[in-house]
Structure formats: structure tokens, C-alpha cells
Structure 1
Amino acid sequence: MTASRFSNSARYWRSPLVPGAEMLTAEYYDHSFTPHWHDAYTVPVIEAGAEQYDYRGSNFVAEAGSVPVINPGEVHTGARAVDFGWRYRVFYLPVEFVQSVADEVAGRAQPMPWFSADVIRDADLAQRVQIAHRALEAGADPLGAEHALLDAVSTLLARHAGQRLPAQRMRLDTARVNAMKARLTDDLTAPLSLAELAQTVGLSTFHAARLFTRETGLAPHAWRNQMRVTRALEALRAGVPVTEVAAASGFTDQSHFTRHFKKTFGVPPGRWR
């Protein structure tokens, strides 16, 4: 028997129990996420089907019952791994929140938690994450929902968190990449050519683009668009019209903004808000 395919439907939502966090309840059939990152810990649980994604130079497949955690700031993609797509629930948890739970679990200040690239296959953890997500979404029992969330996050940390390995990069490369990032974000609405960006660090356009892409996982223009989308979130939350947000973020028009936003978040900006 062939499973019926999923639709492309998604709902972002928030809970006052986790300030700064966002949650996603979604299923996708043929949507593909462009390379992007989140400032938060991405903690999904796959409920049905399977998702494939590129992450840290490898391709992974997360099937039903798995928890494919993505660390803050790390570039990744997302697409179906089976013909009928996938259904999942996702927590986007602020770094400060996860850090505070880690400190509580250990009883003392801890280094920033970090997770390996491997898909976490832990049925008990998956169930705890799913229970917490459903409880927060229902909103009927705040006390129980908050307990379920702390239970899920503390279990994730206790069983699977490690420490981030120090980056093995030349200081000169890091300095140049940081300089290019600063130039790219100095004014997100101003036109900027690759030649102008390369001049910032005294490299040819070819070497500047190659260095930046190697260090960040995104080409300069893609990284800049990701920053535009990320910075637009605050204005969207505040209720600023999408057309105004698009212009203030440096996109040529609303359709340009919507296209990039949907590739990152899976829904148009109006629906996300």
C-alpha cells in the first residue's frame, strides 16, 4: 500500500511560556528549503515520512521518530526523502533558554551546548519532544506544558549535548570574513558588487567569493539575503506591513522578499506573522 502524499501546509506559532522561541507544526510534499540558518537551536521531531538535508558537508536522512538537531548559525537545507514527503514538529529555542537549562542540569555554568551532525535516533527523546510540542500548542495546561518542555530539553542535553570544538581556521581568514560580513550588513538596502566587497579585504573577486563561501557555507549574496530575512523578523512580529518590511530589508519588491522568506521558513511572511 502506497502512503498518500502530504500537503504543503505549515503554521508558525509562539507560546508565552518560552519567550523568544518559535514553534512550527508542518507537513511538506514538494517544498525545498534553500541553504539557510537560524539564530536558535532547531529541535525537530519527525512524525511521519522522512526529510533529507545537507548539513556540515554531508547529506542526512531523518525518518519518523528521529530528532535531527541543528545548531544555531549553522547552514542547512531541507527536502523530502520519500515520495510522499514528511510531517514534523519543530522547536526554535533561543540560545539563552537552552543555555539556562544546561546550567540547571549541571548545577553550574556550562559551555555553550553543541550537538553532533548525526541524526539523533532516540525513541524516548522523540516522544518527549513531541509531547512538549503538542502541550504547548494546545495551551490548555501551562504548568504541564512547561514541565514537559523542560523534561524534553533537559533529556536532550543530558543524553546528546557536547561542547563545540574550536574552529581550525587561520586568523587572517577569519578577520577577512568578518570584514566582509560587516560590509555586507552595514547597509542592507545599499547595492553592493562583489568587486566592492573584495576590495574591502584586498582580494580578487574570485578569492573573496571562495573564501567567504568556504567559511560561511553560503555565497556572499545568499548570506546577505539570509541576514535580510533574519532581521526582518522583528518588524514582522511588530505588525509592520510586509511591503514596508521588504523595502526596509533591501529587497527589490515584496515578491522578491516573499520568495526568499518562503525558501527559508516554508511559508510566506504574511502567514508566518
Structure 2
Amino acid sequence: MDNVHYYSTPTKEISLIQAQYQEFAFQRHYHLDFHIGLITQGQQKFIYKGTSHHVGSGQVVIMPPDELHDGHSKLDSGYEVRVFSVSPQWFQDLADPDKNAHNLSFSELILSDQASFLQLRNLHQLLIQPNISQLAQDCLPYEGFSTIVDRYAQFGSKVNVQLGNKDVDSLKSYLLENLDQPVRLNHLSELCDLTTTQFQRHFKNKMGITPYAWLSRLRMEQSMRLIKSGVCGTEVALQVGFYDQAHFSKAFKTVFGVPPSLIR
């Protein structure tokens, strides 16, 4: 039986998931944020950059933003996971307070580090069921993430994926501003100064998925952000390009495992 809960936190750049997955499987997708998953029971299997990985109880997965991966249970009994969704900018500010403009990443995809696991599990639990002051809630994430940042954060130059005369980040920014508008292939191609054939071929080669699949996921990622910020479901559906809430709710549940009405 699948059982999934999404939670907001006092720090708007951080949200939480607590879930038990048995039948639900994540198709290839990406996130706009870092997703840090703590396996608390069972085992998860996933493919990342063409390599199959599996993680078990007591291990931590640090999935970078914009990276394709899937995910499903390795065992028939399923697995339980606690997840932090953290804005890249929040992590950047924590790890680089002097604003040296280095791009943040982590040296390990999977952590077998009991101290980090226990620290993050405790943080996750406190943020879901806070019984401490508001100030303590506000300060907890800085302390809770300090160990993995100190041990595993690394800095380097950001590699921009080019599509003609545009990079993917520029294309993403444009689409986020226009998700409520019809998106045509010829327009995206013109933005990148490519033919439609060139655009599709270069996009699939560099991103690993089709432009349509990439845009569909971007719509879902943005819809989750809007719902967490308190925008009602009907308005979210319109803002991300759906013409009615019923189709939006169905697509949302297919992607995230729960309807938008259950996001807190």
C-alpha cells in the first residue's frame, strides 16, 4: 500500500515528503530542487546517468536538480523514505556565505554515513511535528544540513548546456514565465536559432528526453511550488497551462502519487 504525505516548512525554500512506496514507481523525471532522500526501511532502486543504483535503510541519496532519474522499490514489500526538497539557492547560500559565485554540488550521490543520516532524520521529524519555538524551527535547517555540507559539498564552474544560441537555463526561465501559453516547437526552435529538426535532435541528445516530456515535467514541478505557496488548485491549473482542474489533478496525481488537494 502506497502512503505519501507532502509538507511545507517555515523555511519556504525547504519542503518535505514522508512516504511508503510499494506499487508506485517514478518514471524518468527531474526536479528543480535538490532532493535528499533518507531510506528508513526497505530498498529503493533507481537509474541515474545510465547506471543502476540501489539504496537501503540508513543510507541517504542526494539527487541534484535537473538530473534525469527514475525510482521504484527493489523488494515486493516496498520501502519507506523521508525526503527534503531544497532550493539550490538556499544550499548555495549555506555553503558559500561569502557569495564567491561557485556552483555547488555534492561529491557523493549515495551516503553511507550514520551521523549524517541520524542528523537529517531528526531534522525531518522535528520539522514535520514541531514542538519547539518558531525561532528554533527557523534555525534548525542550518544546523541540520551543516554536516553534509561540511563533508560533501564541493564547488566548481557551472556547465551550461547549449542549444543553438541559447542555454537550457535561459530556455527554462522563458518557459516558466510562459507556462500558461501554448508552446510551439517552431517557436522554441527560433529562440535557439535552430530548425525544428535540429532543435529536437540536439535537445534529446543533450537532455535525454523529448522537449515535450521536459516541458510536461516543468509544468508539474512549478505546479507543486505554487500549491505549496498557497495558490488554489484551480488557479495553479491555469498558471501552468491546463484548461480545467480535472485534467490537472489527474496529471498531478500520476506524477506525485497524491492529488493536489492533499499537499500541505
TM-score normalised to structure 2 length: 0.83
The alignment status of 1:73 with 2:66, answered yes or no, reads yes
**Which amino acid in the other structure matches residue 153 of structure 1?**
F
Correspondence 1:155 to 2:147: yes
- What are the Cα deviations for residues 51-108 of structure 1, in whole angstroms up to 9, with x where unaligned? 122323333212111110012333332221222211011111223332232236xxx4
Match of 1:23 in 2: 16
Q: Classify 1:218/1:113 alpha carbon distance in 2 versus 1 (closer, same or farther; 3 Å).
A: same
Letter in 2 for 1:37: Y
SS in 2 for 1:73: coil
Indicate the larger mover: 158-167 or 128-137: 158-167
Counterpart of 1:4? none
Question: How far is the alpha carbon of 1:12 from its aligned partner?
Answer: 1.1
Residue 177 of structure 1: CA displacement?
4.9
Distance (whole Å) between structure 2 residues aligned to residue 182 and residue 103 of structure 1: 24
Where does the alignment leave 5 or more consecutive residues of structure 2 unmatched?
none
Structure 2: how far apart are the matches of 1:191 and 1:144? 45
Whether 1:205 aligns to 2:199 is: no
Q: 1:271 Cα shift?
A: 0.9
Contact 2:164 2:192 in 1 (8 A): no
Quick one: which amino acid aligns to residue 96 of structure 1? Q
Counterpart residue number, 1:13: 7
In the other structure, the counterpart of 2:40 is 47
Distance 1:185 1:69 in 2: 25
Task: Give me the whole-angstrom Cα distance separating, in 2, the residues matched to 1:249 and 1:198.
Answer: 21
Alignment partner of 2:62: what SS?
coil
Which of 124, 129, 134 is residue 125 of structure 2 equivalent to?
A: 134
Task: Find the aligned partners of 2:234 and 2:92 in 1 and give their Cα distance.
Answer: 36
Label 1:233 to 1:53 Cα distance change in 2 as closer, same or farther (>3 A).
same
Letter of the structure 1 residue corresponding to residue 153 of structure 2: A
Corresponding letter in the other structure for 1:129: L
- The offset of 1:178, in angstroms, is 6.1
Alignment of 1:1-273 (within 5 A): 7-16=1-10, 18-103=11-96, 108-109=98-99, 111-116=102-107, 118-142=109-133, 149-164=141-156, 166-167=158-159, 173=164, 175=166, 177=168, 181=172, 184-185=175-176, 187-237=178-228, 239-273=230-264
CA contact 1:22–1:93 (8 Å) conserved in 2: yes
Structure 1 residues 203 and 70: alpha-carbon distance in aligned structure 2, compared to 1, 3 A threshold = same
Q: Are the equivalent residues in 2 in contact too, given 1:132–1:145 (CA < 8 A)?
A: no
- Between the aligned partners of 2:28 and 2:58, the Cα distance in structure 1 is 24
- Which secondary structure state, in structure 1, belongs to the residue aligned with residue 52 of structure 2? strand
Q: Relative to total residues, which structure has the larger strand share, 1 or 2?
A: 2
The whole-number CA distance in structure 2 between the counterparts of 1:69 and 1:205 is 35
* Cα distance, 1:194 vs structure 2: 3.1
SS in 2 for 1:62: strand
Q: Give me the TM-score of the superposition, normalised by structure 1.
A: 0.81
Q: Which stretch shifts more, 238-247 or 204-213?
A: 238-247
Q: Report the aligned-residue RMSD.
A: 3.0
Higher mean C-alpha displacement, 39-48 vs 228-237: 228-237
Shift of 1:255: 3.7
Cα distance in 1 for residues equivalent to 2:51 and 2:156: 18
Task: Supply the distance in 1 between the matched residues of 2:258 and 2:156 (Cα, whole angstroms).
Answer: 31
